[in-house]
Structure 1
Amino acid sequence: MMTLEQYSVRQIKGVSAPKEQELHAFGVHTVADLLDYFPFRYEDYRVRALSDVKDGDKATVQGVVRGMPVLQRYGKNKSRLTCKIEIDFLLVTAVWFNRHFLRDQLTPGRTIILTGKWEQHRQQMTVSESEFPEGAGSAKSGTLQPVYSVGGAITQPWMRKTIKQALQQYGAMIEEVLPFELMERHRLIPRRDAVLHIHEPGDIREGLEARRRMVYEELFLFQLKLQAYRMLSRKRGDGIAHLIEAETIRQFAATLPFELTDGQKKVVNELLVDMRQPASMNRLLQGDVGSGKTVVAAIALYGAVKSGHQGALMVPTEILAEQHMRSLTKLFEGMDVEVGLLTGSMTERRRRDVFAGLQMGLIDIVVGTHALIQETVFFRSLGLVVVDEQHRFGVNQRSVLRRKGMNPDVLTMTATPIPRTLAITAFGDMDVSTIRERPHGRKPIKTYWVKHSMMDRVLGFIRREVGEGRQAYMICPLIEESEKLDVQNAIDQYMQVQQAFPDLKIGLLHGRLSAAEKEQVMSSFGANELHVLVATTVVEVGVDVPNATLMIVMDAERFGLSQLHQLRGRVGRGAHQSYCVLVADPKSETGRERMKVMTETDDGFEVARRDLEIRGPGDFFGTKQSGLPEFRVADMAADFEVLEMARDDAAELCARDDFWDNPAYARMQAKLNRDQLFQGEQLD
C-alpha cells in the first residue's frame, strides 16, 4: 500500500504543473509535505461585540445597513465606498476601497458581516472583507482561518483551498507515527485529528490540542534521531581509544603559569574519559568569555599527541589563528610538541611545507582557519579535532575537517553560552561540558549605559585609563558612512578620536583591511604601542590583550545581546579593574531591554537566557550557519518543557533492546531510515 510520501502533490485536484513547480520552492513535493505545511497563525473571523474591540484592532462584527451607500471615484480605477451601518445600537461609518460593485448590494435593512480595522475616535471601520450571511451562508465568518507562508503565484486563498482539497482526498490515509504508550502517557490526540484540526480548527481549544500533539511529535522525532545516532555511535566503537596516562597530564598541568580552576579540572577529566573510549568523542565545551576554554583544549590536544596522534584546531579568523598559534607554542615550550599554522594568506611555499609536515607527522598540532579543510590537506593520523566558536562555521565545513581522520574525537567550543533549550536541541547528539567560573584573580567587568550627549565624559574616561597605563577599545557597527543607518562608523570615529587625543596613538581595524594589515594593527595594540583601538566587530572573537581595560561600544543598540557580551569579554583579561561603556539612544523597547540586561548582569549564561527570550531561537546563532533545525510548529523557547519531555522519552526508547526490532516501532524506524540515519552519515 502506498504512503502519502509516495503521492506527488500534482495528484491533488487543482494543482497544475506550474503550481507544482511553485510548491517545490516551498519544499512541498508530496501530499505528505503539503499536509505537514502548517499555518503559522490564524485570522480570527469570529463575530465579536463592538464594545470588546480596542481602537486600532482588526475584528469581525455583525451589523445592519442603515444608510444609502456613497461612491467616490478618484485616480485611475480607484474608488471609495462609504455606508452607515448599525452595529450593537451604534451608527458606524463603514469604508471600502476599490469595492464599487458592492454599492448595489448595500440595501437598507440588510444584515452584513464586516472584517476590518476599527477606529473608535472616528466611529469608523475600514473594511478589508465583508459578507452577507443570508442565503448560502458565509465562507469565513465565525471561523479561524489559517495563514500560511506563501509567495510568488501561490496566494493565501489558493493554499487554503488546496490543503482543504488534499485533506478531502487523502485525509483518511494519514497514519499514526507515535507509539500508543507515549500518546496515552501525554494524552495526545491521534495524528489524523491533529493534522485536520491544525489546518481547520473548530475553535481555539481544538487548535491548541492539535498544535500540542504536532509540537510533541516534531520534537520527539528530532530527539529520537539524535538519541538513536548517539546510541549507534557508542555501539560502533570505531573511534580512537587514546592511551593517555594521568601522570602525563598532571606533569603538563604543573608546568602551566597558573592553577586550573575547579571547573577546568572537571572538564579536563570529562574529556580524558571520553578520549580513552573506543567510541568517537563528540563533546561541546561551553564557557563564558575568558573562562579558560583554550587551556582545556590545549590539554586535550597534548593528550592526543602523547598517545601518538595529531590534533587540529580550527578557528574563524586569521587573527585568532595566529593568537592561538602563539599561545599554544608558549604552553608547549620544552614539551617536544610541534605546532603549525595554516591560513589562507600564507605564501604557497609556507603552505606546502605545512602540508608535508602534516602528512609525514612532523607537525603534531595545526592551528588554522577554513584553510584546514582544503582537499590538499592530509594528516598522518588525526586523533582530535577542536572547533572554536563553532557557530561561525557551516555544518559542512565542520564535517569535512572531521573526515580528515578515521573518526577522530571532536571537541566543539563556544564562548556564546547556550541556554539549556538550545543545547538540547542543537547539540542533542553531543555531551555538554560547561565552565562557569572565572580564572583566579579576574574581576567582574563594570558596565555602564550612557547617551550620546555624555560623550565628553566617555572621552574623559579614556584619558583616565590611558593615563594609568591601560588601553581602550572603541567599537563601531559600520566601516563607512551609510545613508540608511544613522550610526557612527569606524573611519569617522577614528578621525574624531585622533582630534580629541592628538598626543595619543590611535589604531584602526576593520574587515576590509588585508590579513597582513590586521595582524600589524593587532600586534601593535597587543604590544601596547597603541593607546586606543577603533574597530568594527572584527575584535569580537578571542583577541586577547590583558592590558586593555576599557571597552566602548558606539550605537550599542545596533548589536545583539550575545554580541555585546562577546565584545565586553575582550576586556577584563588582566588583574586590573575593567569597564564596558555602552553609548546608545535606543528608540525601541528591545534596544532599551538589551541595555538593561547588559548593565544588570555580566553572567554570560543569564545574558544568553534573556537573549533567547528577546530574540527567539531562530536568530540566536544564525540558523543557516549553526545547523539549527527550523521546526514547522515547535518554538524552542515556548515549548521548552515539551522539548525536555520528548528528549527523555526518546532516550528511554533508544535504550530498550527491543526498540530496534519491535513491530510496534516500525513506522518510527521507517521515518529514521528515510532521514538516512542508518546510512553511516555523521550528524553535525
Structure 2
Amino acid sequence: MHLFQVPLTKLQGVGPQKAEELHALGISTVGDLIEYYPFRYEDYRIRELSEVKDGERITIQGTIASLPSMQRYGGKSRLICRVTVESALVTAVWFNRAFLKDQLTVGREITLTGKWDQRRRHITVADSEFPDRSTAKTGTLQPVYSVGGNITQATIRKLIDRALTQYGSLIPEILPSELLERHSLIPRKEAITRIHRPENTNEGQEARRRMVYEELFLFQLKLQAYRATHVKQADGLVHPVNNEEIRRFVSQLPFLLTDSQKQVINEILHDMKQPYVMNRLLQGDVGAGKTVVAAVGLYATVRAGHQGALMVPTEILAEQHARSLGKLFEPFGIQVGLLTGSLTERKRRDILASLQMGLLDILVGTHALIQEDVFFRSLGLVVTDEQHRFGVNQRSILRRKGMNPDVLTMTATPIPRTLAITVFGDMDVSTLRERPKGRKPIKTYSVKHDMMDRVLGFIRKEAELGRQSFFICPLIEESEKLDVQNAIDLHMQLTQALPDLTIGLLHGRMTAAEKEATMAAFAAGETHVLVSTTVIEVGVDVPNATLMIIMDADRFGLSQLHQLRGRVGRGEHQSYCILIADPKSENGQERMKAMTDTDDGFEISRRDLEIRGPGEFFGTKQSGMPEFRLANLLNDFEVLEQARDDAAAMTSREEFWSSPIYGGLRDHLAREAQLIGEPLD
C-alpha cells in the first residue's frame, strides 16, 4: 500500500480528533506525516564553556551548588540557583518553573539548556533534565517542527517516531541508482529517517542533501517531461528569417543596440526559424530595452507573411507601445493597430475587420485582444509584456488565436536565471543585463515624512531646470483602514504648496480619455508634476522626468518600488528617487535599505525573495511555483541546476519512456497529471 493512502488513524494513538488536528497542519496521511520535515534542530549536545559565545543557546552539565531562591512578582516567578560547571560557578535562572524548587537539591547533577550570558556567567534556562531520572534529550539533536493548536513539539515528535517504526520499511526508493551513484546520495528510507532522527550534524546534512535533490529533481522532471512531450514538437510555424532584411531594420533604429540585445535577438530569431513552437521568456531590468527586441521579432513575423500581437496590462502602456511601434515600422509599410476596451464600437469594428482581412500586421492591446470576436488572418508571434499581470487562461487564449504561433513572454521583474529556469521551466530564458549606453544610475534617498518641505524644494529646483517629477501614492481616496496619503488629497496639497507649477492627477478611476489626456500633457512637458497611483508602474516613458517621489514607500513591495523608480532615468539628465517612509516599519526599512543600496533589478529581486519568500514573490497560483518542503531556492541553486540538467537528459532518452527502471518516475508523473490535459503555462 502507498504511504499516501494510509489514513492517520492506522497509527497507534491517533483517533479521529487527533487526525483532525493534524489535518489542520496539512497532514492527512501517514505519508504526509513521514514527510513533514523539521525546519531546524535544537542542539542538546553538551559543550564546554570555553567553546560558547555570548548570547548562544547552549547545553551544559554540572552539579547544583546552592539551595534555590524564589522571587515572585505579578503572578509570575523566578527561580535562581548556582551550579558548578567545569569548576566554574554558573548562575541558572528559570522563569515560571516554581515546581522545580524542591527538586534542586545541593549535590544533584543537572543538565541545563538555554541562553548564555558570558559576562555574568549566567544561563536563562529553557529546558533542564536530571541525569539520575531521564536523559531523553541530553546529547541529542532534537527536530523542531511547525506546530499549532493542540499539536505540540512533543506530540509531533512522538507521532513521527511511531510512523517511522510502524511504516518505515514501506518508504519507497524513487530515484534510479544512476542518480544515487552520480551524486553520492544515501537511500531514501535512510535519508528520511535521519532527517527526523539525526545522530550528528553531518548525518542531518547528508540526509537533507539527498531529499533536497529529490524534491528539486521531481519538480524539474515535471517541467522537462512536459517540454519533451509538448514544447519541442515539430508543429510550429517556420519563419524564414532574412538576415539582410533584419540588418536593414536594425540600422534604421534611432539608437545602437547593446551587445546583450543583439545576443537575445539572435536567440529569438533562431527559435523562429525552427519547426517547433518558440516558448521564450525575455527578462530584463527596467529600461534594458526589451520592447525593441520584441519589435525585431514582430518585424520578422510580418516579413514572413504573418501577423504579430502584443498584449500589455494597461491601456496607457498599450497606447504608448502602439505609438512607438508605429514610428519604428512606418518606413517599412507595416501597419500597427491598437485595441483596448475604451475604443468606440465603430473604431473597434474597423480594427477587427482589418485584422481578419490581413490589412493590419501588428495588433497592440490589453486583455481586449483575447475577446471571442478577435480573429487574426495568420497569427505568427504572440508577445505578452509583464506576463505576471495576466492569468494563465488569458495567456493561453491569446496563443490559441493562431495555429501554434511562437510565443515571447517579457518581464521587467528580473529574477536570478536559476529561479527563472525553475518557475518558467517549460520556457527558454533570455536575459538582458546591459543598459542602453548613456543611462546614468538613479540616485535614491529614503526620508521621513517631516522632510516634505525639502522634497517640495527639490521639485521646484528640478522644475526650474525644465525637468518634471512623478509623485506616487498608494490609494486613490481616503480609507478608514489605512492611514496613507491619497492621490486626490495630495494633488490638492501640492497645488496649494506649489502655486507656480502645473500639477496633474492620474488614477485608475479616471476614464481612458482622461488618462490619455493627462499622460499626453505630461509627456509634452505641459505638466510639471504628475500625482499618480501605481497605474504608471509599468513601461511609461517620459525622458524629461527626472524625479520620482514615492509617498508611504514602506507600503509598497520591493519589486514594485524598483518598477516605479524605473519611470525616471530614461533621458540624458541625472535622475533621483525619493522614498518617503515610516521609520518604525521594520520590513519597510529593510526594503528602503535595499533600494538605497543598489539599482540593479536582479539584486533587488534577490533581496525581495529573501524578505518575502518565493511563493509570495512569484504569486504561487499563477506561476506554478511550489512551496518546497526542504529546498531553499536562494541557497540550493546549484542543486537546482544539476537537477534540471539531469531531468532534461533523462526525459530526452527513449528508454525513460519505456524501461521498467524508470517506472516509478513515470508513475510519479502520472499521479501529478503532468502528461495529460492542459500543458503548463
Could you tell me how far apart the structure 2 residues matched to 1:251 and 1:284 are?
A: 26
What is aligned with 1:147?
144
In 2 relative to 1, CA 270–124 (structure 1 residues): closer, same or farther, beyond 3 Å?
closer
State the Cα distance separating 1:200 from its structure 2 match: 1.5
Could you tell me how far apart the structure 2 residues matched to 1:150 and 1:380 are?
A: 58
In 2 relative to 1, CA 134–373 (structure 1 residues): closer, same or farther, beyond 3 Å?
farther
State the Cα distance separating 1:502 from its structure 2 match: 0.9
Q: 259-268 or 409-418, which moves further after superposition?
A: 259-268
2:335 to 320, 334, 337: 337
- Look up the SS of the partner of 1:565 in the other structure: helix
What is aligned with 1:293?
290
Contact 2:554 2:592 in 1 (8 A): yes
What is aligned with 1:172?
169
- Look up the SS of the partner of 1:677 in the other structure: coil
Contact 1:341 1:354 in 2 (8 A): yes
In 2 relative to 1, CA 284–71 (structure 1 residues): closer, same or farther, beyond 3 Å?
same
What is aligned with 1:95?
94
Contact 1:422 1:617 in 2 (8 A): no
What is aligned with 2:308?
311
State the Cα distance separating 1:87 from its structure 2 match: 4.3
With the length of structure 2 as denominator, give the TM-score of the two structures: 0.87
What is aligned with 2:670?
673
In 2 relative to 1, CA 38–276 (structure 1 residues): closer, same or farther, beyond 3 Å?
same
In 2 relative to 1, CA 421–12 (structure 1 residues): closer, same or farther, beyond 3 Å?
same
Could you tell me how far apart the structure 2 residues matched to 1:187 and 1:8 are?
A: 34
Paired letter, 1:212: R
Could you tell me how far apart the structure 1 residues matched to 2:146 and 2:365 are?
A: 41
What is aligned with 2:237?
240
What is aligned with 1:6?
5
What is aligned with 1:16?
15
Contact 1:233 1:279 in 2 (8 A): no
Could you tell me how far apart the structure 1 residues matched to 2:25 and 2:396 are?
A: 27
Q: 6-15 or 162-171, which moves further after superposition?
A: 6-15
Q: How does 1:41-440 map to 2 (within 5 A)?
A: 41-49=40-48, 52-54=51-53, 56-68=55-67, 78-80=75-77, 82-88=79-85, 89-97=88-96, 99-118=97-116, 125-135=123-133, 137-246=134-243, 249=246, 252-253=249-250, 256-258=253-255, 260-333=257-330, 335-343=333-341, 364-373=361-370, 381-439=378-436
Contact 1:342 1:354 in 2 (8 A): no
Contact 1:62 1:113 in 2 (8 A): yes
Could you tell me how far apart the structure 1 residues matched to 2:18 and 2:316 are?
A: 50
Could you tell me how far apart the structure 2 residues matched to 1:431 and 1:131 are?
A: 57
Q: Is structure 2 residue 439 aligned with structure 1 residue 443?
A: yes
Supply the RMSD in Å over aligned alpha carbons.
3.7
In 2 relative to 1, CA 79–338 (structure 1 residues): closer, same or farther, beyond 3 Å?
closer
In 2 relative to 1, CA 456–445 (structure 1 residues): closer, same or farther, beyond 3 Å?
farther
Q: 285-294 or 41-50, which moves further after superposition?
A: 41-50
In 2 relative to 1, CA 461–249 (structure 1 residues): closer, same or farther, beyond 3 Å?
same
In 2 relative to 1, CA 580–90 (structure 1 residues): closer, same or farther, beyond 3 Å?
same
Could you tell me how far apart the structure 2 residues matched to 1:12 and 1:401 are?
A: 50
Could you tell me how far apart the structure 1 residues matched to 2:24 and 2:379 are?
A: 40
Q: 478-487 or 63-72, which moves further after superposition?
A: 478-487
Could you tell me how far apart the structure 2 residues matched to 1:230 and 1:292 are?
A: 28
What is aligned with 2:37?
38
Q: How does 1:548-563 map to 2 (within 5 A)?
A: 548-554=545-551, 556=553, 559-563=556-560
Contact 1:285 1:432 in 2 (8 A): yes
State the Cα distance separating 1:577 from its structure 2 match: 4.0
What is aligned with 1:652?
649
Paired letter, 1:526: A
Contact 2:339 2:369 in 1 (8 A): no
State the Cα distance separating 1:62 from its structure 2 match: 3.2
Structure 1 residue runs of 5 or longer lacking an equivalent are none
Give CA deviations for 1:223-273 in whole Å, capped at 9, x if unaligned. Answer: 233233223335532233345544554565565544544443433332232
- Look up the SS of the partner of 1:236 in the other structure: coil
Could you tell me how far apart the structure 2 residues matched to 1:31 and 1:157 are?
A: 18
Paired letter, 2:671: R
Could you tell me how far apart the structure 1 residues matched to 2:76 and 2:452 are?
A: 53
Q: 449-458 or 202-211, which moves further after superposition?
A: 449-458
Could you tell me how far apart the structure 1 residues matched to 2:623 and 2:369 are?
A: 19
Contact 1:67 1:83 in 2 (8 A): no
Contact 1:394 1:626 in 2 (8 A): no
Q: Is structure 2 residue 532 aligned with structure 1 residue 535?
A: yes
Q: 166-175 or 28-37, which moves further after superposition?
A: 28-37
Paired letter, 1:39: P
In 2 relative to 1, CA 108–448 (structure 1 residues): closer, same or farther, beyond 3 Å?
same
Could you tell me how far apart the structure 1 residues matched to 2:368 and 2:465 are?
A: 41
Q: How many residues align?
A: 677
Could you tell me how far apart the structure 2 residues matched to 1:15 and 1:404 are?
A: 54
Contact 2:379 2:403 in 1 (8 A): yes
1:470 to 463, 467, 472: 467
State the Cα distance separating 1:188 from its structure 2 match: 1.3
State the Cα distance separating 1:183 from its structure 2 match: 1.7
Q: 111-120 or 530-539, which moves further after superposition?
A: 111-120
Q: How does 1:436-515 map to 2 (within 5 A)?
A: 436-439=433-436, 442-449=438-445, 451-452=447-448, 456-477=453-474, 490=487, 493-511=490-508
Could you tell me how far apart the structure 2 residues matched to 1:564 and 1:211 are?
A: 36
State the Cα distance separating 1:347 from its structure 2 match: 6.7
In 2 relative to 1, CA 90–261 (structure 1 residues): closer, same or farther, beyond 3 Å?
closer
Could you tell me how far apart the structure 2 residues matched to 1:327 and 1:654 are?
A: 43
Paired letter, 1:43: E
In 2 relative to 1, CA 302–216 (structure 1 residues): closer, same or farther, beyond 3 Å?
same
Q: 215-224 or 557-566, which moves further after superposition?
A: 557-566
Q: How does 1:570-649 map to 2 (within 5 A)?
A: 570-582=567-579, 598=595, 602-609=599-606, 617-618=614-615, 620-649=617-646
